[in-house]
Every structure is written in structure tokens, then in C-alpha cells.
Amino acid sequence: MRNYSVSNPILFTTWLFVLILFCSSAGGEAPKQAGQKVDIKKIEKEYWQGTDRAPVEVVQNRFYTKSNKFELGVFGALVSTDPFLSVKAAGASLGYHISEYFSIHALYWKDYVSPSSASDTLATSNGSVVNTNEPKSFKGAEIAFYPLYGKLSLVGKSIVYFDAFLLAGGGLRETESGNAPAMMTGLGSQLYLSRIFTIRLDYRIFFFKEKLIQKTPASLAGTDLGTRNELNGIFTLGFTALFNLF
């Protein structure tokens, strides 16, 4: 029987909350490629004559574009994993926007691990050492789909343009006990600071099978304890730059 390790009891609640926020932004402007000339006099004439002609849709051009551009990003992250570990990460990504709706990205992050408060409390109370499998890094690739493009009013003083996107991909998860293939999905949004720079916010969950090694007691250290299915989350915040290479 498989056991799934869900490292943080609020992981699924957080995921659901972020998903609801994502869906609630659907009222923003839909992605639009090109403008359309509108004959105002013709519309007025048809209106007053009461014709049955369908309404004319006004399509606005994108203020910021991504199509055929590369995107280089750096980010910091919080990783939700074993409750006895506190994990932070830092990494980078490089992607290419095939169109305004799709892009592909390669990414890498390195984990920085320390004992969590739960581990410290356990060690202080009875001197116990926990069998943990510390994460080390991740490298992989993902596809992004951008169904939403819009703008927000910032306290009525300025307009902020944004994209919202869905992610799917995979890669190699390196841990203390070895490497394992991982599957990944997520969502996020980026806010445009200019035509080049953006702030990017992502949340991903990833699944992999990890190998467990006995650490304590010393007489059993190194014993192979088998494998378990691991479900982790990572929250990233960073900056990206969009540019044309050619």
C-alpha cells in the first residue's frame, strides 16, 4: 500500500485558495492580438435605424507583448516538504515565448535546508534524531499557458498590466538519498514593470518517489528503508526580463 507524504497540512488549502484567486481574475481583459477599426458614424446610423446587425466588438492591442521573445528570470522560494525540515531555495529560469499564449522554460533551483522548529523541539525534549531526506536541488522544464491578460487599477492612481498562466512540466529532483524523476503542475501571474521587466509569482506542486535511508540509531545507519511517494509545494517570487535575441 502506498503512503503519500503531505509535508504541510495546509498545502491543499493553500492550493485551493490560490486557485480561487486565479479564477476570480477571469474578469480581466482576454488576450487580444490586433486592433479593429470602428466606423462610428456607421454604428450611429444603424443604431438609430434599429437594424438587427450584431454589435461590433472593440478589440484593443496588447500594451505589452511576449511573442517570439526570450525570458530570463531569477527567483527566491519557500519549499513545503518534510515538517522536520525548513527549506528555502534560490534559482533561475530561461524561456522562450512561442506566442502570446504559450511558452517553454528550463529552470533550476538549489535548496537551502535547516532543521525546523518541530525538529529542534523533539531534539530538546528527548534527544531524538529524525530520519529525514534533505532536498538538494531541482532541474527541469515546463510549458506555460497564458489564458488571461488584463490590467488592474492600483488605488485609482495607476494601471498595472498582468498575465495569468498555468504550468505543467517535470524534471529531476535531487535529494540526500539520490535523484528521482518528478512531475509538476502550477499556476501564477506576472506584473509588468515595463516592456522589459516583470515581477513573477508562481505556486507549484510536484510529485516524486524518494528513497529513504535510516539515520538513527547509529547501529542501523545506512539501512535502506525503501521508497515513499512525496508531494511537495514551492512558492516562488522573482523578477524576469523579456528580450529579443536576434
Complete DSSP assignment for 7-29: S-TTHHHHHHHHHHHHHHGGGSP
Q: What CA–CA distances, in Å, run from 74 to 7, 77, 200, 214, 243? A: 26, 10, 9, 35, 15
Among 65-74, 98-107, 219-228, the range scoring the smallest mean pLDDT is: 219-228
Instruction: Give me the pLDDT at residue 27, please.
Output: 41
Strand 70-80 with 85-97, pairing: antiparallel
Q: What CA–CA distances, in Å, run from 234 to 186, 218, 225, 237? A: 9, 33, 26, 10
- Which residues make Cβ contacts (< 8 Å) with residue 195, sequence separation at least 6? 64, 242
Is 231 inside any structural domain?
A: yes
Is 44 inside any structural domain?
A: no
When pLDDT is cut at 50, 70 and 90, the band that residue 129 belongs to is confident
Is 55 inside any structural domain?
A: no
Cell numbers for 58: 472593440
Write out pLDDT tens, residues 53-102: 555 555 566 788 999 999 999 999 999 998 889 999 999 999 999 999 99
CATH number of the structural domain spanning residue 84: 2.40.160.20
Q: Residue range 166-172: average pLDDT?
A: 98
pTM over 0.75: no
Q: 3-state class of 50 per DSSP?
A: coil
Burial class (CB in 10 A: 0-12, 13-18, 19+), 205: middle
Q: Residue range 197-226: average pLDDT?
A: 85
Q: Which amino acid is at 88?
A: K
CA–CA gap between residue 52 and residue 232 (Å, rounded):
56
Is 133 inside any structural domain?
A: yes
Is 118 inside any structural domain?
A: yes
pLDDT greater than 90 at residue 216: no
Is 199 inside any structural domain?
A: yes
Domain count, the chain: 1
pLDDT greater than 50 at residue 242: yes
Is 221 inside any structural domain?
A: yes
Q: What CA–CA distances, in Å, run from 208 to 75, 142, 182, 228, 231? A: 22, 16, 5, 9, 7
CA–CA gap between residue 62 and residue 46 (Å, rounded):
29
φ, ψ for residue 220 (rounded to 5)? -110, 5
Q: How many CB atoms lie within 10 A of CB 51?
A: 9
| Domain extent for 190 | 4-30+64-243
